[in-house]
């Protein structure tokens, strides 16, 4: 954990001890804004040699930037805010990190100890406020506690199931002196996450896999958190079991791979949804049976037994009854699965050629695609598909929340982990721009694209200025449909086209003018309205590396995200397009064998 093992003490202030501890813990970048309750800490930062501070324009931006840094680097992201409103502005980012298991340490200033509980100026009980949305939080009451508190915060944030930890520092503790020594003792007797799976559970699960006729690997974001993408691929190729990856796990398994069925869920691919819904065994690793994946949980994968492996025991059995529960780190679980199939004389890979044939036919029959806009306007899917082809899978893509997020998940080819960043659990509009800033800070040599909607962009676009001033030249592909697009889609489908307060500007006027706004914020601004302008604009943006770039892609307002499963419906009711009936109806019923289904699909293909 520590960069240095020296125990020699040195006299310094609490604020200086915070900075030194962060440096010893390997922190390179911290995102924050100064204020009265953290002025001692900023005085210490003034002389810091190893720690870069990035001055963001809003504390929520600091939190999301720290998330983006953590996502892209695999390290702990760090953000800093003053007391009261500074600290409360971090709440959304902390909740986002909590639901998406992002390793984050938030440092907040607090009023002096003698003022606690007096409703002093800019006093807020940030510990009480954030208790439900942090993995742990603590107020440091004595300067001697500083090294140990921060060492424990980093350990808690980055081990087991990762998550955010908040450390609150009263101003007088920052000013007081201590004899600083490193490393401190980290003693957390009540915190011992299980990482090594039980061998008996591994064997039991392996037997189920070997006997399965229609198994599928249901891989979640825990694969990426554990760095288990290589182990996932080795296990899948060894057994031949098809793979689906959730929204949070895109990139954990190569999208070009023949065993990859895509992303399941509300806007997942038909093959991925079919794989889960028709399976007789779910091999669930690092996923939590989220409602956006399962739809109606009582009708989700109705004929499947379930193996569920997760480092967080609270997730196992929370939504779905589990046949073989496995508590452990995803990387170790997959490694032990692989060892069993390589070494055991009694357990061999399942015989599932018919099952793979059925899913292969589903991939051919229901490829990703979209219809051009009926009014001739630019299709957002075309924009994102072109971006993926031109930029390629080595870049980092960061999405906001809404239609553009789903189109990015569908039309970008992800080949590597930590190249897809988005807000999955909380669904935070405004995530993309500051998270892209953090990703660029973490990976300055990588190309970073924020794919954002015009609604999301207007929430946190001030961090474009941060990027311009601090030298983080990421690109923004702004999908501008003039509406809160996903809400409009639901209003179209479920509220009789009553577009209640979802239109963002007048029909004939750009308000705001994103070209003028982006330019004022310090970015190069480009506007695109036709297909033939898309590729040249992307190419031009890629040539500009001395400042951020915002491309305003003006797209049609009626484009919708398909496939789609209505909230609360069965996955069997997935629709490929608005005018199609549910796919899993009498034509392909759950009672048919894989061979029957394979033959039916062939007949349908011949008819078409």
- At 96-136, the pLDDT tens digits run 999 999 999 999 999 999 999 999 999 999 999 999 999 99
User: What is the average per-residue pLDDT within 235-264?
Assistant: 98
* Confidence label for 584 from pLDDT (cuts 50, 70 and 90): low
- 199-365 with 380-554: one CATH topology? yes
User: What is the average per-residue pLDDT within 146-152?
Assistant: 98
Task: For the chain, state the CA radius of gyration.
Answer: 25
Percent of the chain topping pLDDT 70: 93
Q: Enumerate residues 6+ apart whose C-beta is below 8 A from 113.
A: 141, 170, 172, 173
- Identify the active-site residue in 135, 171, 225, 363: 171
Q: Enumerate residues 6+ apart whose C-beta is below 8 A from 189.
A: none
What is d(CA 463, CA 472) in angstroms, rounded to the nearest whole number?
10
User: What is the average per-residue pLDDT within 428-432?
Assistant: 98
Sign of CA dihedral 72, 256, 583, 481: positive
Question: Residue 572's CB: how many other CB atoms inside 10 A?
Answer: 22
User: Cis ω on the peptide bond leading into residue 512 (within 30° of 0)?
Assistant: yes
The answer to whether 377 and 369 have CB atoms below 8 angstroms apart is no
pLDDT of residue 582: 56
- Identify the active-site residue in 363, 486, 489, 560: 486
- Which tokens go with 479? 């999908």
Return the residue matching tokens 């340490």: 105
Catalytic residue check, 486: yes
Return the residue matching tokens 């200033």: 109
Per the DSSP assignment, residues forming a β-bridge with 552 are 478, 527
The answer to whether 442 and 29 have CB atoms below 8 angstroms apart is yes
The answer to whether 90 and 106 have CB atoms below 8 angstroms apart is yes
**pLDDT at 176 exceeding the cut of 60:** yes
The secondary structure of residue 370, as a DSSP letter, is: -
The answer to whether 345 and 353 have CB atoms below 8 angstroms apart is no
User: What is the average per-residue pLDDT within 84-103?
Assistant: 98
Closest CA to 126 of 142, 135, 138: 138
The answer to whether 99 and 401 have CB atoms below 8 angstroms apart is no
Residue 493 burial by CB count (10 A; 0-12/13-18/19+): exposed, middle or buried?
Answer: middle
- Identify the active-site residue in 1, 10, 50, 121: 121
- Which tokens go with 123? 């006093």
The answer to whether 438 and 65 have CB atoms below 8 angstroms apart is yes
What is d(CA 186, CA 162) in angstroms, rounded to the nearest whole number?
17
What is d(CA 31, CA 464) in angstroms, rounded to the nearest whole number?
14
- Which tokens go with 14? 């609490």
Catalytic residue check, 59: yes
- Which tokens go with 376? 């001739």
- Which tokens go with 435? 């998270």
- Identify the active-site residue in 23, 28, 43, 122: 122
Residue 474 burial by CB count (10 A; 0-12/13-18/19+): exposed, middle or buried?
Answer: buried
Domain 380-554 sits in which CATH superfamily? Answer: Thiamin diphosphate (ThDP)-binding fold, Pyr/PP domains (3.40.50.970)
What is d(CA 493, CA 496) in angstroms, rounded to the nearest whole number?
7
User: What is the average per-residue pLDDT within 24-52?
Assistant: 97
| Domain 10-180, CATH number (from 3.40.50.970, 1.10.1740.10, 3.40.190.100, 3.30.70.2970) | 3.40.50.970
- pTM of the predicted model as reported, rounded to 2 decimal places: 0.93
pLDDT of residue 222: 98
**pLDDT at 600 exceeding the cut of 50:** no
pLDDT of residue 603: 47
Closest CA to 244 of 198, 289, 203: 289
Q: Mind giving me the DSSP string for 37-62?
A: GGHHHHHHHTT-SS-EEEE-SSHHHH
pLDDT of residue 4: 47
pLDDT digits (tens, 9 = 90+) for 434-481: 999 999 999 999 999 999 999 999 999 999 999 999 999 999 999 999
Domain 199-365 sits in which CATH superfamily? Answer: TPP-binding domain (3.40.50.1220)
Residue 600 has phi, psi (to 5 degrees) of -65, -45
Q: HSE-up of 60 (CA within 13 Å, CB side)?
A: 15
pLDDT digits (tens, 9 = 90+) for 40-73: 999 999 999 999 999 999 999 999 999 999 999 9
The answer to whether 421 and 399 have CB atoms below 8 angstroms apart is yes
- Identify the active-site residue in 59, 123, 231, 315: 59
Please count the residues of the chain: 608
Catalytic residue check, 214: no
In Å, how far from its chain's centre is CA 54?
Answer: 22
| Alpha-carbon dihedral 208, 210, 213, 219, rounded to 10 degrees | 70
The answer to whether 78 and 30 have CB atoms below 8 angstroms apart is yes
Return the residue matching tokens 């509980």: 117
Q: Give residue limits of the domains in the chain.
A: 10-180, 199-365, 380-554, 571-606
């Amino acid at each position: 954990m520590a960069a240095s093992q020296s125990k020699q003490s040195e006299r310094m202030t609490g604020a200086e001890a915070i900075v030194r501890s962060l440096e010893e813990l390997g922190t390179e970048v911290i995102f924050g804004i100064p204020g009265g309750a953290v002025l001692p800490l900023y005085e210490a930062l003034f002389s810091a040699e190893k720690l870069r501070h990035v001055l963001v324009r809003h504390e929520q931006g600091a939190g999301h930037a720290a998330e983006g840094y953590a996502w892209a680097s695999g390290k702990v992201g760090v953000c800093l805010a003053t007391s009261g409103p500074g600290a409360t502005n971090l709440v959304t980012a902390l909740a986002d990190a909590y639901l998406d298991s992002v390793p984050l340490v938030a440092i907040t200033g607090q009023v002096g100890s003698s003022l606690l509980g007096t409703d002093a100026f800019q006093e807020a009980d940030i510990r009480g406020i954030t208790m439900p949305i942090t993995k742990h939080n603590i107020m440091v009451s004595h300067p001697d506690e500083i090294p140990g508190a921060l060492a424990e915060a980093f350990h808690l944030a980055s081990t087991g199931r990762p998550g955010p930890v908040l450390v609150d520092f009263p101003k007088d503790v920052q000013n007081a002196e201590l004899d600083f020594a490193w490393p401190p003792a980290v003693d957390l007797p009540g915190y011992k996450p299980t990482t090594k799976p039980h061998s008996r559970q591994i064997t039991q699960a392996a037997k189920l896999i070997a006997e399965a006729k229609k198994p599928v690997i249901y891989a979640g974001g825990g694969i990426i958190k554990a760095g288990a993408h290589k182990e996932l691929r080795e296990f899948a190729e060894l057994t031949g079991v098809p793979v689906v990856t959730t929204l949070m796990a895109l990139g954990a398994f190569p999208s070009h791979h023949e065993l990859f069925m895509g992303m399941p869920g509300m806007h997942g691919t038909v093959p991925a949804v079919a794989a889960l819904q028709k399976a007789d065994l779910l091999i669930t690793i690092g996923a939590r049976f989220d409602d956006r994946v399962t739809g109606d949980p009582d009708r989700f994968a109705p004929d499947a037994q379930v193996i569920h492996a997760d480092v967080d025991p609270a997730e196992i059995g929370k939504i779905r009854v589990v046949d073989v529960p496995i508590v452990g780190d995803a990387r170790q679980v997959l490694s032990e699965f692989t060892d069993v199939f390589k070494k055991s004389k009694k357990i061999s890979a399942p015989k599932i050629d018919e099952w793979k044939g059925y899913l292969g036919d589903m991939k051919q029959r229901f490829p990703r695609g979209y219809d051009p806009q009926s009014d001739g306007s630019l299709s957002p899917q075309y924009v994102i598909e072109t971006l993926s082809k031109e930029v390629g899978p080595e870049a980092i893509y960061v999405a906001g929340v809404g239609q553009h997020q789903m189109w990015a998940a569908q039309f970008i080819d992800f080949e590597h982990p930590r190249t897809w960043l988005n807000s999955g659990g909380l669904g935070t509009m405004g995530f993309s721009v500051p998270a892209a800033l953090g990703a660029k800070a973490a990976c300055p040599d990588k190309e970073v694209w924020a794919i954002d909607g015009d609604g999301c962009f207007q929430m946190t676009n001030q961090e474009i200025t941060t990027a311009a001033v601090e030298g983080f030249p990421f690109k923004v592909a702004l999908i501008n449909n003039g509406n809160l697009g996903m809400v409009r889609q639901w209003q179209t489908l479920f509220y009789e086209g009553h577009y209640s307060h979802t239109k963002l500007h007048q029909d004939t006027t750009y308000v705001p003018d994103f070209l003028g706004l982006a330019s004022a914020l310090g970015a190069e601004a480009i506007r695109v309205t036709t297909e033939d302008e898309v590729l040249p604009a992307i190419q031009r943006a890629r040539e500009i590396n001395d400042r951020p770039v915002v491309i305003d892609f003006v797209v049609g307002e009626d484009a919708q995200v398909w496939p789609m499963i209505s909230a609360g419906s069965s996955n069997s009711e997935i629709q490929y397009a608005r005018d199609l009936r549910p796919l899993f109806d009498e034509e392909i019923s759950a009672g048919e064998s894989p061979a029957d289904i394979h033959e039916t699909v062939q007949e349908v293909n011949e008819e078409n």
